[in-house]
Amino acid sequence: MDIGDRIARRQTARRGHAVVVDRDQLSPVVHVPEPVGRGPVLEELLDAIDAVFDGSLPPEFAVVGPHGAGKSAVVTALFDALNDRFGRANGRIGTTTRAGSGGAVTWFACIDGRRVRSPFAFYRALLSVVSADPVPESGVGTDALRERVRRRLERPDRRVVVAIDHHDEPETLAYDAARELLEPVTENVTMAAVGHAVPEGFDGPTVTVPAYRRHELIDVVTERASEGLAPGSFDHESIRDLATWADGNAHDALAALFGAAVLAEEHDADRLDDEYLVRARADVPAEGIHLDRTLALPGTRQQVLRNLLSLESTDRPISEVASDVAASSSLTAGTIKRFLYELADRGVVERVPLASNGSGRRPSTVEPQFPAISFLALSAKTE
């Protein structure tokens, strides 16, 4: 962010009495380029890819850690920085490399398994990293796309490190599936697995990203709050409480902070009062899923979730809930019912059994398993 941006932010903040000056800084789904407090992990990752500095490919490796520990944040930040240095992505001449004097290139692609679920999408994501040309969205066959990637990586001095992020979540691109997709494309490739656990049978080097310790998480949240909120609109005691409550989970802490900011904004408040923090905290389910998983869903599913959240009471059978949602939607009740079952299957909502209503199989209802306030604020924007 340059000085002009900073000044503009303050100006905006002073015009109304806006609490939020930069939403992206607060958003739990936006990674910052310089992750706070993950120095040791960065060093370990640099060790894992050390061979790159000698101009060769590092061995396959894995990154594991609990929910909200910042795995994705640190890997994407590192890969972005490495790409600037070793990959001439998008035709830009990167800063000179120590090893790459002969024109050798190493690209670093971090594939988001939540958003890349088909072979077509996989090759598309990969191509957008290793090629400057525009990548087609459809209308071209998967075979053609794979061939383009293959030709691009044909030369022995072109290498690529491909990280599969979220490879072990429900409905995401599995690690083995990604390996099979890469096989016909190139041999100059190193894969890396980023997830909660190492893939089945994996025995390579593994970097563990531990949950944030309390003071580290305080730093993370304070940093975000300072960048994203108006000066003097929050107190540090609240931030410390928030970090303690989140118990090392940065996602939960940031989701609550963001939710509180959204509430304060809605009420035209000029401070992040405790009232908002308490409500926002209650809005983050204890064993919930990452907000980004809901935002990676197709538009219609997000629409259904938004409508679902606007219903007064949800402790009714799924079929009734589906009819209500259908009333304010262009989709039919049958389709919405199916969506709700799908979402329950992925853990986005949870099925809760209801009392039997006479004869037949017992009905169940659904409860959201994600931070609703943050979801509504972020999902609406993308439509």
Partner DNA sequence: GATCCACGGGAATACACGGATG
Partner DNA sequence: CATCCGTGTATTCCCGTGGATC
Residue appearing with tokens 């997000």: 302
Compute how many residues bind DNA; rule: CB under 7 A. Answer: 39
Of the candidate residues 15, 313, 361, 382, the single one contacting DNA (CB under 7 A): 361
Token reading at 331: 């989709």
**Is the C-alpha dihedral spanning 43, 49, 50, 54 positive or negative?**
negative
Residue 259's closest CA among 241, 277, 245?
Answer: 277
Indicate the residue among 15 and 361 with the shorter CB distance to DNA: 361
Q: If you search the block for the tokens 């089945």, which residue do you land on?
A: 200
At its nearest, how many Å lie between DNA and the CB of residue 341? Answer: 4
Residues 296-335 that bind DNA (CB under 7 A): 298-301, 317-319, 330-332, 334-335
Least separation in angstroms between residue 94's CB and DNA is 27
Closest approach, Cβ 307 to DNA, in A, equals 13
Least gap, CB of 30 to DNA (angstroms): 22
Q: How many CB atoms lie within 10 A of CB 33?
A: 9
Q: By CB under 7 A, which span of 64-72, 169-177, 339-347, 373-381 interacts with DNA?
A: 339-347
At its nearest, how many Å lie between DNA and the CB of residue 160?
20
Distance CA 144, CA 146 (A): 5
Cβ of residue 130: shortest distance to DNA, in angstroms?
A: 18
Please compute Rg for the chain using Cα positions: 23
Strand ranges inside the chain, DSSP E: 61-64, 105-112, 158-165, 189-195, 206-208, 349-353, 364-368
CA distances from 227 to 161, 207, 221 (A): 32, 30, 10
What track of x and - describes contact with DNA for positions 178 through 197 (by CB under 7 A)?
--------------------
Find out whether 276 and 263 touch, Cβ atoms under 8 Å. yes
Using CB under 7 A, pick the residue from 109, 260, 296, 344 that binds DNA: 344
- Binding region for DNA (CB under 7 A) out of 40-48, 137-145, 249-257, 287-295: 137-145
Region of 59-67, 91-99, 134-142, 262-270 interacting with DNA (CB under 7 A): 134-142
- Coil vs helix vs strand at 81: helix
Q: 213 near 38, Cβ under 8 Å?
A: no
The distance of closest approach from Cβ of residue 63 to DNA in the complex, given in angstroms and rounded to an integer, is: 26
Take residue 144 and report the two structure tokens written for it.
Answer: 């053609």
Question: Which one, 136 or 204, has the nearer CB to DNA?
Answer: 136
Residue selected from 15, 91, 96, 137 as contacting DNA according to rule CB under 7 A: 137
Can you tell me which of 108, 120, 276, 370 binds DNA, judged by CB under 7 A? 120
Per rule CB under 7 A, is residue 56 in the interface with DNA?
Answer: no
Nearer to DNA, 224 or 301 (CB): 301
Task: Tell me if 295 sits within 8 A of 302, measured CB to CB.
Answer: yes
The contacts of residue 207 (CB under 8 Å, 6+ apart) are: 41, 44, 45, 48, 61, 62, 63, 64
How wide is the angle at C-alpha 75 spanned by C-alphas 74 and 77, nearest 5°?
65
Give the x-and-dash track for 213-252 against DNA (CB under 7 A): ----------------------------------------
CA separation for the pair 28, 243 (Å, rounded): 14
Q: How far apart are CA 268 and CA 263, in angstroms?
A: 9
CA distance 77 to 27: 16
Binding region for DNA (CB under 7 A) out of 96-104, 133-141, 160-168, 277-285 = 133-141
Interface of this chain with DNA, residues 263 to 302, rule: CB under 7 A: 298-301
Is 143 one of the binding residues for DNA (CB under 7 A)? yes
Three-class secondary structure of residue 193 per DSSP: strand
Q: Which of 66, 94, 136, 205 binds DNA (CB under 7 A)?
A: 136
Question: Which of 138, 312, 381, 383 lies at the binding interface for DNA (CB under 7 A)?
Answer: 138
Residues of this chain that bind DNA (CB under 7 A): 118-121, 134, 136-143, 298-301, 317-319, 330-332, 334-335, 337-338, 341, 344-345, 351, 356-357, 359-364
